[in-house]
Amino acid sequence: MKDFLRSIFYKLIYIVPVLFLYSFLYSPSVFAANRTVDLVVAYKTVDFAGKSMQAIAVNNQIPGPTLRFNEGDHITINVYNQLDKGTTIHWHGLLLPWKMDGVEYVTQEPIAPGEVFRYEFTLNQSGTYWYHAHAGLQEQQGLYGAFVIDPPSSRFAYTKDYTIVLSDWINNAPERVLANLKKEGDYYSTKFPLQASLQRFLSDYEAAATQQAKDQLKSTYKMMQDMRMSIYDISDVAYDTFLLNGQPPTKPWKAPVKVGDTVRLRFIGAGASTFFRVKIPNTKMQMVHVQGNDIVPYEVDDFTIAPGETYDVLVKIQKNTPYIIYAESADTLGAALGALVTDMSQPVDFKSVPPFPEPQPQMSHAGMDMPGMKMPMASSNTPRNANAQAMSGMDMPGMKMPMNSSTPSNASTQTMPGMDMSSMQMPSKYAKLRAVEKTNDPNKPVEIIEMRLNGYMGRYIWFLNGLPEYKAKPILIQAGKRYRFIFINETMMHHPMHLHGHWMYLRNGNGAYDPRVHTIDVAPNETVTADFDATEGEGHWYFHCHNLYHMMAGMARPFYYEGNYSTALPTSTPISQNFPGARAGGPQTDRRFVLDRSAIPADEPSALPAHSTTAHPMGHYFMAALDLGGVVNTPNSFRTTFESLIGSDYNKLQLFMNDAEFNNGKVENADLDIFYWRMINEFWAVKGGVNYVYRPTDTPYWQPGIGIEGVAPYFIDTDVRAYWHSGAGKLDIELGRDTQLMRLFFLRTSVRGMVATKTVEHDQIGSGLNFMEYKVRPFWQVLPNLAFFVEWNYTDYYGAARNILLSNDEATSENAWSIGFSVLF
Ligand SMILES: [Cu+2]
């Protein structure tokens, strides 16, 4: 009896906690918990691509630790900054209070070095998300990680679950990368395998199957030359390697599975600017969850993931062979690799995976009729005029957003019930996306926010509606309303447009079942419609292209809730003591750390900020190009051209010395423009200032000058300058063109002429045409900033200028062969 009681007692001891645990796990009310995580942001030295580089890690990991919570959890994330500059972390795709959103200067002040910021919010959603730096270019250096929220129960059955974080890496500081792109938008272009070269055209033309295809190819090339666009404008940055869960392809990531497993792979597009094409050879993937939302499943052989997107697929393990995850960069430069293996010692033949078929040359449809493309707004009632009034106070050309909501009859607040969205040409990428449950009432009235995605690509300034972020004002939205984005991509690149803190309903013809997304990859020339409900009611929300460099270069805007935004942003707190990050940099999860709540300021009364809150203010940039050639057929003679541009995107100081000649230590020809340079549109800049002429003249002099420079159709580099000296007007015109013959081999041809209105003999200026100069220069662009050239240069003098030379006993024509190099600083 005693034994029996004892056994009952011991059983109870065992059963009660189990029952308690069981109810704890399965009752929704106790499913959620308070959880605290400490994240330490610090530098870490890495070698991903053959060079030791400074990266930024979270808890000493790249990617940072996967944060995994349950839906309903109330979480506290303490972010400790051990960098020597400010940082922030953004929780990508999460709906949370705006001051927790982690965008520097928009939702918070950067976390100061040595300080801590407490992010605290409740998880009212589930699915696959991620986090990343929203400060400077730190995301490019490794500050990102997966963020997974488990729902109370999953719709899909799976036995294993892995996050696959795809990212890109360059052996260069990202600030340097951006500075390079600001020197020349196509700075890295010669490093890409796909080139719009003549050689490429000829081989494509040869390979084209039909005459029609040949003609098409010819007109594509011709049109793109005319429009001054490249047909392979896939990437701006030539990366050195691509990472899968922080592993370069030289050391691919591997994870164990077994036959019979159904594996959930959570792909996260964490590249700063890389689009990955993903496949697992010999396997169908079942797409089940996109951007944090379950979808009606569909099978795919491969898919493309843009920066900012996430895709969850299920993979069935049926054979005792490796399942290779192959994620190739869209520009074909490389691939991130990984494998699911049924035995960790299994050999994996990564080389067996064939690359994706090469992307086709693409061509702009701008200005062309696009059959099947029906913009919902363009046809009938355009809200543009109606809104022009309300918009007049806002400096946003092209932005057709109604600010005045009081008139529901206003054309802008159209109700569009039953609108046939299926008539719109939708991006094929999202055509199959259908939400698994109702996401929205599609009949709610909308206000239009037209978003033209554009920019001055050659100058690497990216816009929304014709303006970079730093020139534009925040976009005001009103709580409770629904807004309709109409994204019109006017560029030749993809732009993954990301809205913080709100779901967008991607209008792809499923109405109430249109998928919810936080990032929309808008393809070149494409028009995409998506709605969002202004449900947050207050604060600042960032909206931007998730190509990090596009965002930094202006493709971004803050959204403000009208009448309910703040002038003060939360700040970080000094770490008083027991700073966990001071210990070894390992993970510091679930460590309680009490902060002074008063450090997070109470809401300020709404007032117009003195200046708009801009994440990325106007930058200043420096460019210098030096060209130096030794003349082969004249001993001890060389020629040099130097140009430097210093300043902001639109206004610069230009120093320009064009084709100076030196012979036996004597300067024969040299003058220097010291000009104010102002960009007037994508292709043209005007300039003016003074020019100092040292030679040819007996006495050096200063003269005023003005000019215009830019790129004419067919990529004709144009430089026209006019000067005034001693009563003589001079006009100096130079036209040139670089033709790409092969990937690294170009041919420059140029012609320059100078005319004057009057003869000024002692300064060697003749009335009428002075000279014509012709150059032919083959060059090898061995590095993005270094080329070697051979040049033939022929100059012939005419009229009065020729007579001056004759009277001085000088040659009236020159024939020079040079070899030399060009460097871009
Ligand atoms: Cu972009």
pLDDT in tens, 608-654: 343 456 788 889 999 999 999 999 999 899 999 999 999 999 999 99
396 pLDDT tier (thresholds 50, 70, 90): very low
From the CA of 330, how far away is ligand 1's center (Å)? Answer: 15
From the CA of 521, how far away is ligand 1's center (Å)? Answer: 9
pTM for the complete prediction?
0.86
Is the distance from CB of 772 to CB of 753 less than 8 angstroms?
yes
Which tokens is 590 given?
């679930």
Least reliable range by pLDDT among 298-302, 455-459, 601-605, 736-740? 601-605
From the CA of 650, how far away is ligand 1's center (Å)? Answer: 20
From the CA of 564, how far away is ligand 1's center (Å)? Answer: 29
From the CA of 306, how far away is ligand 1's center (Å)? Answer: 11
Q: Reply yes or no on whether the pLDDT at 511 is more than 80.
A: yes
From the CA of 233, how far away is ligand 1's center (Å)? Answer: 12
From the CA of 331, how far away is ligand 1's center (Å)? Answer: 15
> Which residue has better confidence, 589 or 662?
662
Average pLDDT, the chain: 86
From the CA of 672, how far away is ligand 1's center (Å)? Answer: 38
> Which residue has better confidence, 411 or 425?
425
Q: What's the CA angle centered on 687, arms 682 and 689, to 5 degrees?
A: 165
Question: Which amino acid, 260?
Answer: G
Q: Is the omega angle on the peptide bond into residue 696 within 30 degrees of 0, that is, cis?
A: yes
**Averaged over 438-450, what is the pLDDT?**
95
From the CA of 630, how far away is ligand 1's center (Å)? Answer: 42
From the CA of 489, how far away is ligand 1's center (Å)? Answer: 9
152 pLDDT tier (thresholds 50, 70, 90): very high
Beta strand 64-70 with 144-150 is: parallel
From the CA of 509, how far away is ligand 1's center (Å)? Answer: 25
Is the distance from CB of 755 to CB of 769 less than 8 angstroms?
yes
pLDDT of residue 198: 86
Is the distance from CB of 242 to CB of 296 less than 8 angstroms?
no
pLDDT of residue 365: 46
Beta strand 728-740 with 745-756 is: antiparallel
> Which residue has better confidence, 603 or 151?
151
Which candidate, 231, 316, 234, 229, places its Cα nearest to that of 277? 234
Report the interhelical angle of 211-226 vs 198-207 (nearest 10°): 160
From the CA of 516, how far away is ligand 1's center (Å)? Answer: 21
From the CA of 522, how far away is ligand 1's center (Å)? Answer: 9
What percent of the chain clears pLDDT 70, i.e. is strictly above it?
Answer: 84
Residue with tokens 């050391």: 251
Distances (CA, A) of 707 to 359, 627, 679, 736: 40, 21, 12, 16
Least reliable range by pLDDT among 143-147, 151-155, 206-210? 206-210
From the CA of 452, how far away is ligand 1's center (Å)? Answer: 11
H or E stretch at 793: strand 786-797
Is the distance from CB of 465 to CB of 396 less than 8 angstroms?
yes
**Averaged over 191-218, what is the pLDDT?**
86
Distances (CA, A) of 396 to 473, 546, 730: 7, 21, 40
208 pLDDT tier (thresholds 50, 70, 90): confident
From the CA of 462, how far away is ligand 1's center (Å)? Answer: 7
Which candidate, 498, 513, 515, 430, places its Cα nearest to that of 127? 515
From the CA of 405, how far away is ligand 1's center (Å)? Answer: 31
From the CA of 546, how far away is ligand 1's center (Å)? Answer: 6
- What would the pLDDT profile of 562-620 be if each residue is shown by its tens digit? 888 877 888 988 876 454 443 433 333 333 222 222 222 333 333 334 345 678 888 99
- What would the pLDDT profile of 772-789 be if each residue is shown by its tens digit? 999 999 999 999 999 999
Q: Reply yes or no on whether the pLDDT at 362 is more than 60.
A: yes
The DSSP symbol for 87 reads B
- For the CA atoms of 784, 788, 792, 797, the dihedral, rounded to the nearest 10 degrees, stands at 60
From the CA of 744, how far away is ligand 1's center (Å)? Answer: 27
Distance CA 200, CA 182 (A): 27
- What would the pLDDT profile of 476-494 be if each residue is shown by its tens digit? 999 999 999 999 999 989 9
From the CA of 137, how far away is ligand 1's center (Å)? Answer: 15
Distance CA 102, CA 108 (A): 6
Which candidate, 65, 64, 74, places its Cα nearest to that of 31? 74
From the CA of 545, how far away is ligand 1's center (Å)? Answer: 5
- What would the pLDDT profile of 606-617 be if each residue is shown by its tens digit? 333 434 567 888
Least reliable range by pLDDT among 130-134, 305-309, 380-384, 427-431? 380-384
Q: Please name the residues in contact with 40: beta carbons below 8 A apart, sequence gap of 6 or more.
A: 58, 59, 60, 80, 82, 580, 581, 585, 588
Distance CA 641, CA 627 (A): 5
Distance CA 454, CA 490 (A): 5
From the CA of 497, how far away is ligand 1's center (Å)? Answer: 7
Is the distance from CB of 487 to CB of 523 less than 8 angstroms?
no
pLDDT of residue 60: 94
Q: Please name the residues in contact with 331: beta carbons below 8 A apart, sequence gap of 6 or more.
A: 192, 193, 194, 232, 234, 235, 238, 274
From the CA of 401, how far away is ligand 1's center (Å)? Answer: 21
- First CA to last CA across the chain, in angstroms? 93
pLDDT of residue 825: 94
**Averaged over 288-295, what is the pLDDT?**
98
**Averaged over 523-537, what is the pLDDT?**
94
5 pLDDT tier (thresholds 50, 70, 90): low
401 pLDDT tier (thresholds 50, 70, 90): very low
From the CA of 494, how far away is ligand 1's center (Å)? Answer: 6
From the CA of 555, how far away is ligand 1's center (Å)? Answer: 7
**Averaged over 666-694, what is the pLDDT?**
96
From the CA of 547, how far away is ligand 1's center (Å)? Answer: 5
Q: Phi/psi at 405 (nearest 5 deg)? A: -100, -5
From the CA of 464, how far away is ligand 1's center (Å)? Answer: 10
Distance CA 177, CA 495 (A): 19
Is 10 in a helix, a strand, or coil? Answer: helix
From the CA of 669, how far away is ligand 1's center (Å)? Answer: 45
From the CA of 500, how far away is ligand 1's center (Å)? Answer: 16
Is the distance from CB of 496 to CB of 308 less than 8 angstroms?
yes
From the CA of 548, how far away is ligand 1's center (Å)? Answer: 8
Burial 142-172 (b: 16+ CB within 10 A, else e): bbbbbbbbbeeeeeeebebbbbbbbbbbbeb
From the CA of 496, how far away is ligand 1's center (Å)? Answer: 6
Long-range contacts of 722-725 (CB under 8 A, 24+ apart): 723/691, 725/693, 725/701, 725/760, 725/763, 725/765
Which tokens is 345 given?
């010692």
From the CA of 305, how far away is ligand 1's center (Å)? Answer: 14
From the CA of 320, how far away is ligand 1's center (Å)? Answer: 42
Distance CA 71, CA 68 (A): 10
Is the distance from CB of 801 to CB of 604 less than 8 angstroms?
no
Number of Cβ within 10 Å of residue 251's Cβ equals 10
From the CA of 289, how far away is ligand 1's center (Å)? Answer: 24
Quote the distance between the C-alpha of residue 3 and its chain's center.
Answer: 73
From the CA of 551, how far away is ligand 1's center (Å)? Answer: 7
Is the distance from CB of 199 to CB of 279 less than 8 angstroms?
no
Q: Reply yes or no on whether the pLDDT at 411 is more than 90.
A: no
From the CA of 616, how far away is ligand 1's center (Å)? Answer: 15
From the CA of 397, how far away is ligand 1's center (Å)? Answer: 19
Is the distance from CB of 121 to CB of 100 less than 8 angstroms?
yes
The alpha carbons of the chain give a radius of gyration, in whole angstroms, of 31
Residue with tokens 């299994």: 346
From the CA of 435, how far away is ligand 1's center (Å)? Answer: 26
17 pLDDT tier (thresholds 50, 70, 90): low
Distance CA 444, CA 532 (A): 11
From the CA of 523, how far away is ligand 1's center (Å)? Answer: 10
Is the distance from CB of 91 to CB of 601 less than 8 angstroms?
no
From the CA of 124, how far away is ligand 1's center (Å)? Answer: 29
From the CA of 823, how far away is ligand 1's center (Å)? Answer: 29
pLDDT of residue 563: 85
pLDDT of residue 228: 77
pLDDT of residue 387: 33
From the CA of 70, how far away is ligand 1's center (Å)? Answer: 33
From the CA of 41, how far away is ligand 1's center (Å)? Answer: 27
pLDDT of residue 690: 98
Q: Reply yes or no on whether the pLDDT at 664 is more than 60.
A: yes
Distance CA 302, CA 611 (A): 46
From the CA of 493, how far away is ligand 1's center (Å)? Answer: 7
From the CA of 308, how far away is ligand 1's center (Å)? Answer: 11
Q: Please name the residues in contact with 351: beta carbons below 8 A apart, sequence gap of 6 or more.
A: none
Q: Is the omega angle on the peptide bond into residue 63 within 30 degrees of 0, that is, cis?
A: yes
From the CA of 520, how far away is ligand 1's center (Å)? Answer: 11
